[in-house]
Structures are given as C-alpha cells and as structure tokens.
C-alpha cells in the first residue's frame, strides 16, 4: 500500500515539476530585460515572489517524499525539517533574487541613496520591490560610472539606456544631480549614450523609426561629463558645424545663470539651465620691443561664469 502511495506521489511531483520548470528553463536574459522594460517594477517583483512561494512548496513536497522513502528503508539526504530553517532558505532566496532582478525604481531624489545601499527604513522599506531594487540600482550605478560592469543590474541598465527607458534615466538623473564624492561622474562614450537617453533623444529616435517617420534633427554631442548637478560637453549641429561648448545646471541646485540661457526638461522631469559658449576676447601678454607689456587679442568662444549653487547663497 505504501509503495502504491509512493508511486502516485512521485508521478504527481513529476507532473508539477514539468509544469513549473518548463517556463523557467525557457526564459532568457533578454526576456527578463523586456519584462522589466514592459511591465515595470511591481509586476516583475510580484512574479519573483510567486516563484519563491512555488520553490518553498516544492521543497515541502520533496520533504514529504523523503519521509515516505525513509519508511521504505531508502536512505535519502535531508532537505528540511524546521520552520526556522525554511525561513532562512527563503531569506537567502530573496537576497539572491534582489541581486539578480529589480527595476527602474530609483527616483530622482532617492536613487543615489538606494544605489549606495543606504536606506531610511528597515529591511522591507518600500516593500518587496524596494528590497530587491536597492543592490540592483547599485550595480547599475557602478556600470554607469565605469566603476564595474555592475552584474545583471549593469546589463539591464545598458539595455534600458539603449531604449531611453525610465530605469536608465532615473539612474542617470541620480548621478547628474548627486554629489560627485558619493555618486561619481559619467564620462566617455557611456556618458554620450546617457545624455541622449536622459534628454529624451533616444526615445524620440526609436519612436520615429517604429512609426516610419523622418528622424528628428538631434545634435551630436561629445566630451560629455555628467555629475554634481552639472552636464558639460560639446555640441555639433547645423547651426554649429564646428562644435560649440555647452554647460547645463540643475535648476533645483543652481541659481539662474547670467547672460543668455534656455531651460530644458530632462526625461525624469527635472529642469536644467543650458548655456552655450559665447564670444569673448582672449588677451595673451607679450613683451614689446620697448620693454612694455602688450597683448595679442583674439575673439574666442567661452562659457559664461558658472552660476552659484543655491545652498551657498
């Protein structure tokens, strides 16, 4: 009778295993990235919780199966036994999951803190999504600043940035508005991609391409540096084919600049003052034949003086 029950239970376990693992084995890294991009933090985090619950249920079935095998005189390894041990297993699973998955939950004001692993609440501050996203955001920040590849968080940051996604833009915004000493800066080719994403250019290009329309006239940028409330770089466009230097200053952190400027909106809703280099006279001193100091004067393009930071006024 026991053997019959064992065979029935074994068949049931096999069926459950097939149904539960088929989708798991079929999933790819790209599908994970697409799920995060399409459904957002809450949906993906909720799916993770469901899979953790299924995993615990499967372990309970395996534990019952072990007891039946033991009653038949078959030696097996122990997979569980106490509620405390199972809670520890679940805690480890959540810890591993939050390192593997997360979403674009970094806010413009709190993204830097989350990326650095600090939090104003407890372990479950912000719910399950908050628990998962904090170390994930840290990996994305490390990738963005070139500190490291950032693991899976860094990979999905790159994927989001290629699409001009919200997750990448919130991470970029945290760096752009954060303190350089804590969040670092973005430079090089990665900063160029970040700038195009943060200014909404990447999303515009993709939208026009998908709809079959003519791409927007987007200026090319180079020598970009992002961080400390500033975005500096060179811009090449039809109006400035030789390139012109520009500086952008976060409106929440800097006073209104002097001289000509415009106000632009970033993808995360923040406002930035933007100034281009303007005509200025460059004087180079030299010794005249009569021993006096004279100057060679030249007309150059130069950025106006940087506006003052609000906290220093």
Assess if residue 165 is contained within a domain. yes
Provide the whole-model pTM: 0.59
Q: Pull the structure tokens for residue 90.
A: 């679940």
**Domain carrying residue 110:** 2-227
Please check whether residue 306 lies inside any domain of the structure: no
- Determine the Cα–Cα distance for residues 121 and 142; give it in Å rounded to an integer: 23
- Pairing of the two strands 244-250 and 262-265: unpaired
Spell out the per-residue pLDDT of the chain, length 313, in tens: 556 565 666 666 666 655 554 444 444 556 555 555 554 554 445 455 556 666 666 666 766 666 665 665 555 554 444 544 545 555 555 555 555 444 433 333 334 444 443 334 443 444 444 545 677 788 999 999 999 998 888 998 999 999 999 999 999 999 999 999 999 999 999 999 999 999 999 999 998 888 887 777 899 999 999 999 999 999 999 888 999 999 999 999 999 999 899 999 999 999 999 999 998 778 888 888 888 898 888 877 889 999 999 988 7
Kindly state whether residue 77 falls inside one of the protein's structural domains: yes
Contact 179, 197 (CB under 8 A): no
SS3 at position 283: strand
209, part of any domain: yes
The structure tokens listed for 133 are 């996203």
> How many other CB atoms are found less than 10 A from the CB of residue 69?
14
> Is 64:70 a contact under the CB 8 Å cutoff?
no
Beta bridge partners of 287: 293
Going from the C-alpha of 238 to that of each of 202, 217, 307, the distances in angstroms are: 19, 9, 28
Residue 267 domain-assigned (yes or no): no
- Rounded to whole angstroms, the Cα distance separating 34 from 39 reads 8
Does 216 reside within a domain?
yes
Domain assignment of residue 8, yes or no? yes
H or E segment and range at residue 271: strand 271-276
Q: With CA atoms as reference, report the closest residue to 296 among 280, 278, 281, 274.
A: 281
- Is residue 244 domain-resident? no
Q: What H or E segment, with its residue span, contains residue 281? A: strand 278-287
Q: Of 105, 255, 91, 253, give the one whose Cα is nearest residue 168.
A: 105
Number of domains within the chain: 1
- DSSP string covering 194-251: HHHHHTTHHHHHHHHHHHT-PPP---EEEEEEEETTEEEEEEE-SS-TT-EEEEEEET
310 DSSP assignment: G
Sign of CA dihedral 305, 307, 308, 309: negative
């Amino acid at each position: 009778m026991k053997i019959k029950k064992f065979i029935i239970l074994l068949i049931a376990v096999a069926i459950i295993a097939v149904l539960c693992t088929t989708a798991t084995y079929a999933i790819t890294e790209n599908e994970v990235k697409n799920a995060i991009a399409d459904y957002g933090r809450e949906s993906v985090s909720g799916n993770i919780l469901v899979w953790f619950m299924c995993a615990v249920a499967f372990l309970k079935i395996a534990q019952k199966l072990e007891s039946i095998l033991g009653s038949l005189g078959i030696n097996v390894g122990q997979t569980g036994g106490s509620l405390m041990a199972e809670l520890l297993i679940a805690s480890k699973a959540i810890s591993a999951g939050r390192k593997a998955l997360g979403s674009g939950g970094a806010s413009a004001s709190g993204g830097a803190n989350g990326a650095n692993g600090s939090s104003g609440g407890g372990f479950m501050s912000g719910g399950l999504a908050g628990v998962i996203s904090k170390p994930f955001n840290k990996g994305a920040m490390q990738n963005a600043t070139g500190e490291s590849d950032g693991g899976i968080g860094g990979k999905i940051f790159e994927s989001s940035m290629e699409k001009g996604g919200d997750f990448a833009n919130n991470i970029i915004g945290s760096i752009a508005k954060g303190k350089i000493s804590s969040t670092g800066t973005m430079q090089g080719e990665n900063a160029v991609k970040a700038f195009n994403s943060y200014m909404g250019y990447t999303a515009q290009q993709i939208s026009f391409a998908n709809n079959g329309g003519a791409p927007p006239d987007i200026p090319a940028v180079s020598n970009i540096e992002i961080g400390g409330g500033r975005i500096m770089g060179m811009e090449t466009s039809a109006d400035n084919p030789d390139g012109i230097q520009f500086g952008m200053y976060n409106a929440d952190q800097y006073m209104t600049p002097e001289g000509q400027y415009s106000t632009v909106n970033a993808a995360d809703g923040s406002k930035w003052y933007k100034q281009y280099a303007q005509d200025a006279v460059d004087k180079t001193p030299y010794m005249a034949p009569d021993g006096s100091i004279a100057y060679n004067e030249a007309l150059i393009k130069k950025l106006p003086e940087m506006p003052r930071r609000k906290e220093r006024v």
